[in-house]
C-alpha cells in the first residue's frame, strides 16, 4: 500500500428539490384547492475519522464527492425525498484545509469524530404553502436552493507519542526495528526511509507509538532533500528522540543542523521535550564514547544518553527516558503475551 499524506478533493452538497404546483382533482369535489408538496432537502457532505486507515491513497483515485439532490415535491401534499448524504472516511489525524491550504477547517484526532463540510440546499415550498384566505388558489412554488461546491485539501499527520529526528543514516530505522515489530528499510546509504513508519514500543508493561520520518539535511526548511515535508507527522508527539551518529566525526555539527531545521520549521515543534542520544556506540570504545558524549553535552547544554540500536545496548534506558516524558493518559497497558504492533504502508 502506497503512503500518501496530502490529497485534494472536490465536494458538492445536494441541491434542494423544487416545490410542486398542483391542485386537488377528485370527482364530486368542486373546490379541491392547492395540494403541491415541498421539495426534499439536498444531501450533506461529511468527513469522519475511522479506524483501519493510515494513508490518504484512496483519495488519489477518487477526488470528486457529490451528494444527491433532493427530489421535487409532488401532488397530494407529498414532500420529495431528501438526497442521501455522502461521507468522506479519513484516517485519524487528518486535517481538513480550505483551498488556500492555510485555513484549517477541522482536525480529526479521534475515532468517530465527524465534521460537516457542505450543507445541502433546502427544498422549495410547494403551492400548498402559499395558500391563504385571500389567495386560495396560488399558482407559485419555490425552487430548491443550490448545493455548496468546495475544493478542499486533506493533510494527514500521524498520531504518535515519540518522533524520531536525525540526519540520514543516523540509525532511526534500526532503532524502530530493534524495539518494535516494524520492519522499515535499513541500508548503509542515506535516505533509505522515504515515508514515515510507525511502531508500537513496549517498556515496563506500557506501550507507546514511535514515528520514524525520513532524515533531515541542512536546508531542509528551504526544500532541500525531502525538505520538511514529513515534519508534520511529529507535530503531535509528546517527546522527540534526537539520534546523533557517533561515527560521523562531526556529532556537534550534526546536532546543530537538526536543531536549526526544526526551529526554522516553526510552530511548537522546537519547544517539545527532546531526548538526545549518541547512537552507534557499538563501534566506539569506552574512551571514545565518553569523549564524544562530554563534547556533545558541553556544546548543547543537555544530557546525552548512549545507545546502540544494533547491539541494543542502552536501548531500555532510552525507552524509560521517553516514557517519563509521556503523559499516562497516552500510554497503553501491555497485555501479557501480546506482541508489539507495527505499521508500515
Annotated binding site for GTP: 166-173, 191-195, 212-215, 279-282, 308-310
CA distance 221 to 26: 76
Using an 8 Å Cβ cutoff, are 8 and 151 in contact?
A: yes
Rounded Cα–Cα distance for residues 303 and 280 (Å): 17
Cell 494513508: give the residue. Answer: 55
Burial zone of 200 (CB within 10 Å; 0-12 exposed, 13-18 middle, 19+ buried):
buried
Measure CA 167 to chain center. 24
> Which residues are annotated binding-site positions for Mg(2+)?
173, 193
Residue 244 near residue 281, CB atoms below 8 Å: no
CB atoms within 10 A of CB 95: 18
Using an 8 Å Cβ cutoff, are 64 and 10 in contact? yes
Can you tell me the distance from the alpha carbon of 69 to that of 121, in angstroms, rounded to the nearest whole number?
8
**Which of 158, 160, 161 has the alpha carbon at shortest distance from 323?**
161
In angstroms, rounded to a whole number, what is the distance separating the alpha carbons of residues 276 and 293? 10
Q: Which residues are annotated as a binding site?
A: 166-173, 191-195, 212-215, 279-282, 308-310
From CA 66, how far away is CA 85, in angstroms rounded?
A: 9
Separation of alpha carbons 54 and 94, rounded Å = 10
Cell numbers for 169, please give them: 543514516
Give the integer Cα–Cα distance in Å for 8 and 126.
39
Give the torsion through C-alpha atoms of 235, 87, 152, 227, to 10 deg.
Answer: 30
Partner residues linked to 305 by β-bridges = 277
d(CA 72, CA 82): 9
Residues 6+ apart with CB under 8 A from 329: none
Amino acid at each position: 500500500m502506497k503512503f500518501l499524506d496530502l490529497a485534494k478533493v472536490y465536494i458538492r452538497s445536494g441541491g434542494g428539490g423544487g416545490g410542486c404546483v398542483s391542485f386537488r382533482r377528485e370527482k364530486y369535489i368542486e373546490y379541491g384547492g392547492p395540494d403541491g408538496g415541498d421539495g426534499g432537502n439536498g444531501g450533506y457532505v461529511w468527513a469522519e475519522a475511522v479506524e483501519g486507515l493510515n494513508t490518504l491513497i484512496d483519495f488519489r483515485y477518487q477526488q470528486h464527492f457529490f451528494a444527491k439532490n433532493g427530489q421535487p415535491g409532488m401532488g397530494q401534499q407529498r414532500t420529495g425525498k431528501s438526497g442521501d448524504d455522502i461521507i468522506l472516511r479519513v484516517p485519524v489525524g487528518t486535517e481538513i484545509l480550505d483551498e488556500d491550504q492555510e485555513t484549517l477547517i477541522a482536525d480529526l484526532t479521534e475515532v468517530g469524530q465527524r465534521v460537516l463540510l457542505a450543507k445541502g440546499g433546502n427544498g422549495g415550498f410547494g403551492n400548498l404553502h402559499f395558500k391563504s384566505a385571500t389567495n386560495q388558489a396560488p399558482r407559485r412554488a419555490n425552487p430548491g436552493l443550490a448545493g455548496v461546491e468546495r475544493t478542499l485539501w486533506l493533510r494527514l499527520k500521524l498520531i504518535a507519542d515519540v518522533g524520531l529526528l536525525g540526519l540520514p543514516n543516523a540509525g532511526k530505522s534500526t532503532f524502530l526495528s530493534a524495539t518494535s515489530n516494524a520492519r522499515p528499510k535499513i541500508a548503509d546509504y542515506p535516505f533509505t526511509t522515504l515515508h514515515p513508519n510507525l511502531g508500537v514500543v513496549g517498556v515496563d508493561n506500557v506501550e507507546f507509538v514511535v514515528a520514524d520520518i525520513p532524515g533531515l539535511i541542512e536546508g531542509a526548511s528551504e526544500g532541500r532533500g525531502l525538505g520538511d515535508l514529513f515534519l508534520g507527522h511529529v507535530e503531535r508527539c509528546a517527546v522527540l528522540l534526537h539520534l546523533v551518529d557517533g561515527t560521523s566525526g562531526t556529532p556537534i555539527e550534526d546536532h546543530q543542523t537538526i536543531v536549526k531545521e526544526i526551529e526554522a520549521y516553526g510552530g511548537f515543534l522546537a519547544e517539545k521535550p527532546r531526548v538526545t542520544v549518541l547512537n552507534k556506540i557499538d563501534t566506539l570504545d569506552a574512551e571514545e564514547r565518553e569523549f564524544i558524549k562530554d563534547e556533545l553535552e558541553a556544546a548543547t547544554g543537555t544530557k546525552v544518553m548512549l545507545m546502540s540500536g544494533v547491539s541494543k545496548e542502552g536501548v531500555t534506558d532510552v525507552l524509560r527516558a521517553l516514557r517519563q516524558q509521556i503523559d499516562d493518559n497516552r500510554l497503553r497497558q501491555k497485555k501479557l503475551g501480546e506482541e508489539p504492533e507495527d505499521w508500515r504502508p
